Amino acid sequence: MSGNRSRPLGVATIGYAFMGKAHSQAWRNVASYFDVPAFERTVLVGRDADAVAEAAARYGWAESATDWRSLLSRDDIDIVDICTPGWLHAEMAIAFLEAGKHVLVEKPLANSMTESAAMVAAAEAAAARGVRSMVGFNYRRVPALALARDLIGQGRVGTVRQVRVSYLQDWLADETAPMTWRLRKETAGSGALGDIASHAIDQVQFLLGDTVTDVSGRLHTFVPTRNGPDGPEPVTVDDAAWATLSLAGGAVASVEVSRVALGRKNALTIEVYGSEGSLAFDLERLNELMVLDGTVPVERQGLSRVLVTEPGHPYLDAWWPQGHTIGWEHTFTHQIRDFLTAIDTGVAPSPSFAEGLAVQRVLAAIQESAAAKSSIVTVGSI
Amino acid sequence: MSGNRSRPLGVATIGYAFMGKAHSQAWRNVASYFDVPAFERTVLVGRDADAVAEAAARYGWAESATDWRSLLSRDDIDIVDICTPGWLHAEMAIAFLEAGKHVLVEKPLANSMTESAAMVAAAEAAAARGVRSMVGFNYRRVPALALARDLIGQGRVGTVRQVRVSYLQDWLADETAPMTWRLRKETAGSGALGDIASHAIDQVQFLLGDTVTDVSGRLHTFVPTRNGPDGPEPVTVDDAAWATLSLAGGAVASVEVSRVALGRKNALTIEVYGSEGSLAFDLERLNELMVLDGTVPVERQGLSRVLVTEPGHPYLDAWWPQGHTIGWEHTFTHQIRDFLTAIDTGVAPSPSFAEGLAVQRVLAAIQESAAAKSSIVTVGSI
Amino acid sequence: MSGNRSRPLGVATIGYAFMGKAHSQAWRNVASYFDVPAFERTVLVGRDADAVAEAAARYGWAESATDWRSLLSRDDIDIVDICTPGWLHAEMAIAFLEAGKHVLVEKPLANSMTESAAMVAAAEAAAARGVRSMVGFNYRRVPALALARDLIGQGRVGTVRQVRVSYLQDWLADETAPMTWRLRKETAGSGALGDIASHAIDQVQFLLGDTVTDVSGRLHTFVPTRNGPDGPEPVTVDDAAWATLSLAGGAVASVEVSRVALGRKNALTIEVYGSEGSLAFDLERLNELMVLDGTVPVERQGLSRVLVTEPGHPYLDAWWPQGHTIGWEHTFTHQIRDFLTAIDTGVAPSPSFAEGLAVQRVLAAIQESAAAKSSIVTVGSI
Amino acid sequence: MSGNRSRPLGVATIGYAFMGKAHSQAWRNVASYFDVPAFERTVLVGRDADAVAEAAARYGWAESATDWRSLLSRDDIDIVDICTPGWLHAEMAIAFLEAGKHVLVEKPLANSMTESAAMVAAAEAAAARGVRSMVGFNYRRVPALALARDLIGQGRVGTVRQVRVSYLQDWLADETAPMTWRLRKETAGSGALGDIASHAIDQVQFLLGDTVTDVSGRLHTFVPTRNGPDGPEPVTVDDAAWATLSLAGGAVASVEVSRVALGRKNALTIEVYGSEGSLAFDLERLNELMVLDGTVPVERQGLSRVLVTEPGHPYLDAWWPQGHTIGWEHTFTHQIRDFLTAIDTGVAPSPSFAEGLAVQRVLAAIQESAAAKSSIVTVGSI
């Protein structure tokens, strides 16, 4: 597919809120730093005509549109980047894949297992026709975490045994924070679990290159009622979630997530303990990876703070000299780079929809376990 | 009981290994720093006559003995400090309490629930006669943790919601580390669970002034076989344990402990998230408490590193000027101080045997849950 | 000048290496995040026609050019952003200001005091005609440092007494690193002093809103000879520099900079101690500001880690939700935003050329002191 | 001198305030942990008969006395530990050395160069008769700093180039803190300089095994007047001091000390940058040493947090298992251990009075430089 393209790839992005803004930043900048196939920022899609037109102008898209279906038949659109809420993912992604468009979809893959499975089927069918798809677990593109995966893959921590992941935020710590669609099960599916534990679980599987086989889970809502437009309303999703996970390769991981952990703003922390070394990471300091080499004599052994800004670190040769840090948004630029490269080289991009589904399965198993008094549940194969 | 004593209290300590050495340090120094009733370090007890005699001389005990029962009838012994392995606690403690001796016993209270319950009964009967007893959860006497409890008690973190405790060590990370009695269920009862999760659980109940009502638990042994004197032998206790705990007051706590967390030497970490503030602690930096005041405007809000060395901090006015740190061993000195003060004032010391039993109940429930696929177990009342 | 412009401002940037790349990123993105007057990225200028054409395409400039003088007479150029080495600053900046172009020039202002003074004169003459100029001390636009200045200005640290600034790098720690023009006095002027102490000194004056009045300085070259193209060659600039500074308001600051501090990559650290509070910062963790409020009771007092990502923090409302960090490059985006806003509103931008000159004067005084056995030198008024 | 002693060494300590209390703790505990020659805590000396008698009882000395001269002729006193203010050191130390007593004297060696020189002469004369003397720079016995010296000595950081030392306290940050003898030049000699910069300078010379050859210094008093018993009174010593130091071996060190650095309680921080590695230390976290090995590939290189509690670390095999931290006071126990061992083995203890004098010379040079507009001063040989 690569090389003989007669024109730049046409790109459409659907959604212009938080994620649409972040993805737009990536599309706007990726070609200044990375060697990627030529593309054009053709169209930004949203429901409100005026607002999306203004967003398109602000974020640098050539045009705007309000009907996502209008893209299906457009020959000048090769790639669709779906940044809408989860309940819209399946319909859109499947339609675009069937129409021969490469699709990048924000995480989570979808709100239901049925939809997720249908998306995987569509993705596999499309792949047979050279049409690519990927789900946006952008934290795989944090250089420090990509480095962590490399180090684990090289055996530098030996056999991984124990993994600890937490993702702590505090935007719901204030009990007067109002009711929103995110706190209703019918619209959000789940609370902290689907929103941020999904990142945690994807990281466990990504870093270890392994698969969760069973889980025990617990969910809790600390503030059970919040004020909505019509007065007090029950919160029907979790504020916090806990799980232990068995991995096929023998490791055990714990996951804890929260939206009420006062003082933690975006604290995805990961600790990996192996037989020969260990690693630690905190998303609030995403330019750093703590690395312990267990083969150093114990008198000089300790967790080393590696500033992940060297040219030899993943993605970093494209940016600035050593010591000049990058930010959260750069993960999206790296994601677009990898997606474009995959399209260009014909290699299947990762994380695939199937990998996104694998995360959904673990989340579903945690919910099932939580509903069954935390009893261990085997992660299903649908 | 206080005040009209005609002679100094006579003290006996049983055991002179790790804990006996630490307790001896406390007995040797407490009166130099704290105003405590007069006492004498009368006798150190151990099984090996030569070794215990040498230890008594080294650690500053007036005499040594090999038969603990010989203390029962000695009028010059008022206090017995039991630093033996757990399986000896019940018999000794009950006998001494019945003989009218005040008893301090190392944690865990005992290896079985039956023994623990008998000890509580003996303690309560003795208390009616003015005979005091206490279990040695020394980390209650870390100044930073005593401060944490005070702050929580004052309402400075508001309603506690989420608590995260981990206790990570690495002395079994090396798979060639040999088999010991600590790794056999019949001698040790459990592994990391009883040894270090007991501290974690006591802290949860201590800091919150609350009671664990149900638990879900998981146990795992990462290195299932180790070399013993007669070749490879199965490890029959856990290397690591995980639990989630419900508290009566509505908080939820997680506990994770390990002996294979490479690079963590004695990392008891505690995070407390409340509606108005949060706290964080790490035993490897025991002179520090992180404190977040959620009522400060968010633009200036963050976890503050409080160096807990001020005269106004718990226990610190006895020691050195601000900024001059103390060590792990000082917790035992504080413990002895509190125990002596309780004896002197006639106030029941804490943690009582009943509090020690409460920890044992939680540990037993975790084991029960782990054996039942992590299903939530109600903490028993025996 | 604002409001009634008939067309977007035309922008030219001169230079496309490290700084040109960073400034291009800022020009490309600023309008997506901030409300700034309309502008066009008209032309990128460099000496090598092919290379600058490629850079223009990559970084998003409409055209490229090789002769900077060609811009002087172009009516479609309103702003010139000078990212060339220091020895070219004066000639360019003066010519453009006289031609009525607004000028942003990278730090340091110039390599000599004479040139710097001429630039200030040109800037002041231009300002009288509504033509704006600014020097690019981008670290003033680190949100945490802008917050620090605000807090100091509000009196939150009381009277500032002691300031400690260090800027440590390690790219010359390897003694086999080769000779370059940066290590020859005739081309570079000075070493670590001009390159990074300039940032340190600007921060001292910026944060305190105060002026350095006298200095004592020391310079040292740890690796006096390095291999050049023709064999070993003397290094004629400093690897490291130290200074103490008196400020007009009574504070005393220390500055230490190095290019051989192994393990420090871009560690601009700043500590400010006042009568009522203190602050600490490290550029390697630029999303954080440590804040101590000395009015809190000492038992709960400590340096708080404030994650500077709240909407109420300087510049942050334009970016991402709380906890989502930014990187080093964002300081340039903020700088362009402030420069454009100043042009639009007719307010003189800061730091002005005169402020750049003030930094040069301090650097010159440090060099003079270092040459006079560190004897204190009064900072000149030229 | 060792081995054939017919009775335990008799020890006298003079002074029972802060330092006397800390030294008493060391004498009380050293033999429980270290194999040292037998000794007895014979007498504690102070001016107030009642107070010193109470202190002797509390700290465990057999008797008390008020006249230090009474010790001179006592055959049962072999060692005198001088914990009095500096102005008393010379007279006492010289008298005891001449009387054949081994002498340990607190730092600083003395308040004047003349006294210091006389003490060195007395010490050298005594040494010829087998009588030992040592000055109490106790931070040499922080295990992490002893380890740092070992690592430097082994060449693990290569050639040391740049050293940064600060010692920051805040007990004078409050401008209402009252006048004391410590703030008058005639009683205290100097302020932060003599009190805490002395530690900083001893560490530089100790860690590097090198000698300061020249200095540039600056002194400053931020709060020039404080309330004394008779109203406002001028503060005639420094609140803060700064110096740069050249070392004979080619390194350059900076020293900054303060008593007004709000939030820093006892922050002796040390950074050592060499050609092959670097080290960092903070006394407020004295169980930790940061170690960077520059020979590790840069992608995995960083400052490692080594918890200095391993049996293989200096002094640690005597104490607790790994991960169980020690405190500030332990440095005195180590000091006594080393002093007793030196007496026992006949090896000259270190730091000798001559080493104490070497520190005084550097301090004197800093004062001289500060009085001469910071101009570099060669460190004298008296």
Q: Is B300 on the interface with A (CB under 8 A)?
A: no
pLDDT score for B4: 53
Q: Which two tokens stand for residue D303?
A: 């400052």
What confidence score (pLDDT) does residue B23 get?
A: 98
- Asked if B374 reaches chain D (Cβ–Cβ under 8 Å), the answer is no
Which tens digit of pLDDT belongs to each residue from D243-258? 999 999 999 999 999 9
Does D372 contact C at CB distance below 8 Å?
A: yes
Per residue in A161-219, pLDDT (tens digit) is: 999 999 999 999 999 999 998 999 988 889 999 999 999 999 999 999 999 999 999 99
> Quick check: helix, strand or coil at residue C334?
helix
Per CB-CB distance under 8 Å, the chain B contacts of C293 are: 296, 300
pLDDT of residue D2: 40
pLDDT of residue C381: 63
D240 interfaces chain C, CB cutoff of 8 Å: yes
8 Å CB contact between D197 and D108: no
B359-368 per-position pLDDT tens digit: 999 999 999 9
To the nearest whole Å, the CA of C189 is away from the closest chain D CA by 22
- Distance CA(D66)–CA(C11), nearest Å, equals 84
So what's the pLDDT on residue A125? Answer: 98
Say yes or no to pLDDT of A2 above 70.
Answer: no
Q: Which of C162, C258, C277 sits opposite D162 (nearest CB)?
A: C258
Instruction: Please answer whether residues B354 and B381 qualify as being in contact, where contact means their C-beta atoms are separated by less than 8 angstroms.
Output: no
Tracing tokens 């001009």 back to the chain, one arrives at C194
pLDDT at C110: 92
Q: Are C32 and A28 inside 8 Å of each other by CB?
A: yes
Average pLDDT over all residues of chain B: 96
**Domain definitions of chain D by residue range:** 9-139, 143-285+287-326+358-371
For tokens 């939530």, name the residue.
Answer: B376
Given this model, what pLDDT does residue D5 score? Answer: 66
| Reported confidence tier of residue A4, pLDDT bands at 50, 70, 90 | low
C329-341: pLDDT as tens digits: 999 999 999 999 9
End-to-end Cα spacing for chain D = 33
Mean pLDDT of C300-306: 98
- The pLDDT assigned to D176 comes to 95
3-state secondary structure of D106: strand
Sort out which chain B residues have CB atoms less than 8 A from D267's CB and list them: 323
- Name the E strands within chain A: 9-14, 39-45, 63-65, 79-82, 102-106, 133-136, 160-168, 212-220, 225-228, 231-234, 240-247, 252-258, 267-274, 277-282, 288-293, 303-307, 377-378
Q: Considering only CB atoms, which chain A residues are within 8 Å of C328?
A: 320, 324-326
The whole-angstrom separation of Cα C249 and Cα C247 is: 5
Q: What is the pLDDT of residues C34-70, one digit of tens each?
A: 999 999 999 999 999 999 999 999 999 999 999 999 9
Fold of C9-139: Rossmann fold (3.40.50)
pLDDT of residue A187: 83
CB atoms within 10 A of CB A137: 25
Confirm whether C9-139 and C143-285+287-326+358-371 share one CATH topology.
no
Q: What is the pLDDT of residue B308?
A: 98
Secondary element (H or E) of residue B235: none
Average pLDDT over residues C338-364: 97
Task: Specify the higher pLDDT residue, B229 or A4.
Answer: B229
* H helix and E strand count, chain D: 10, 17
The answer to whether B275 faces chain A, any CB pair under 8 Å, is yes
User: Cβ B151–C300 below 8 Å, yes or no?
Assistant: yes
Give the C-alpha separation, B345 to D230, whole Å: 44
Contact criterion met (CB below 8 Å) for A322 and A310: yes
> To the nearest whole number, what is the mean pLDDT of chain A?
96
- Tens of pLDDT along D307-343? 999 999 999 999 999 999 999 999 999 999 999 999 9
Render pLDDT for B151-198 as a digit per residue (tens, 0 to 9). Answer: 999 999 999 999 999 999 999 999 999 999 899 998 888 999 999 999
Is the pLDDT at C4 greater than 90? The verdict is: no
DSSP string, B154-208: TTTT-SEEEEEEEEE--TT-STTSPP-GGG-HHHHSSSHIIIIIHHHHHHHHHHH
What does the pLDDT look like over A307-353, one tens digit per residue? 999 999 999 999 999 999 999 999 999 999 999 999 999 999 999 99
Q: What percent of chain B has pLDDT over 70?
A: 98
D276 touches chain A (CB under 8 A): no
Closest-CA residue to B299 (of D310, D268, C144, C61): C144
pLDDT confidence bin for D3, thresholds 50/70/90 = very low
pLDDT classification of C3: cutoffs 50, 70, 90:
very low
Q: Which residues of C touch B310 (CB under 8 A)?
A: 298-299
pLDDT at C48: 97
Give me the total of CB pairs closer than 8 Å, taking one residue from chain B and one from chain C. 58
* A81-92: pLDDT as tens digits: 999 988 899 999
What's the whole-number mean pLDDT along residues C139-154? 98
> How confident is residue A22, by pLDDT bands cut at 50, 70 and 90?
very high
**For the residues B299-319, what does the mean pLDDT come to?**
98
In three-state secondary structure terms, B329 is coil
pLDDT > 90 in chain A, percent: 95
Is the pLDDT at B228 greater than 80? The verdict is yes
C275 at interface of D, judged by CB pairs closer than 8 A: yes
Residue A134: Cβ-neighbour burial (10 angstroms; 0-12, 13-18, 19+)? buried
Q: Which of residues 54-83 of C touch A (CB under 8 A)?
A: 58-60
Residue-wise pLDDT for D47-98, tens only, equals 999 999 999 999 999 999 999 999 999 999 999 999 998 889 999 999 999 9
pLDDT digits (tens, 9 = 90+) for D19-56: 999 999 999 999 999 999 999 999 999 999 999 999 99
Residue B3 has pLDDT above 70, yes or no: no
Annotate A138-158 with b (16+ C-beta within 10 A) or e (fewer): bbbbbbbbbbbbebbeeebbb
Q: How confident is the model at residue A6 (pLDDT cuts 50, 70, 90)?
A: confident
Write out pLDDT tens, residues A137-167. 999 999 999 999 999 999 999 999 999 999 9
Distances (CA, A) of B222 to A35, A188, A209, B173, B240: 45, 38, 19, 9, 8
The confidence score (pLDDT) of residue B312 equals 98
- DSSP character for A131? -
State residue D6's pLDDT score.
79
DSSP C101: -
Architecture of domain C143-285+287-326+358-371: 2-Layer Sandwich (3.30)
**Which sign does the torsion angle of CA C192, C194, C196, C200 carry?**
positive
Tell me what pLDDT residue B2 has: 40
Q: How far apart are CA C133 and CA C123, in angstroms?
A: 6
pLDDT confidence tier of residue A381, bands split at 50, 70 and 90: low
Peptide bond into B85 cis (omega under 30): no
**What confidence tens digit (pLDDT) does each residue in C272-286 have?**
999 999 999 999 999
- How many other CB atoms are found less than 10 A from the CB of residue D236? 15
- Separation CA A285–CA C327 (nearest Å): 11
Q: Cβ contacts (< 8 Å) between C192 and chain D: which residues? A: none
pLDDT at residue C186, rounded to an integer: 87
Return phi, psi of residue C159, to 5°: -80, 125
Distance CA D175, CA D198 (A): 24
Mean pLDDT to the nearest integer, C253-267? 98
D83: how many CB neighbours lie within 10 A of its CB? 25
Question: Does B22 contact chain D (CB < 8 Å)?
Answer: yes
pLDDT 10s digits, B241-270: 999 999 999 999 999 999 999 999 999 999
Q: Measure in Å the smallest separation between the Cα of B95 and chain D Cα atoms.
A: 30
Please name the member of A173, A220, A244 whose beta carbon is closest to the beta carbon of B242: A244
**3-state SS record for A150-184:** HHHHCCCCCCEEEEEEEEECCCCCCCCCCCCHHHC
pLDDT band at B381 (very low <50, low <70, confident <90, very high): low
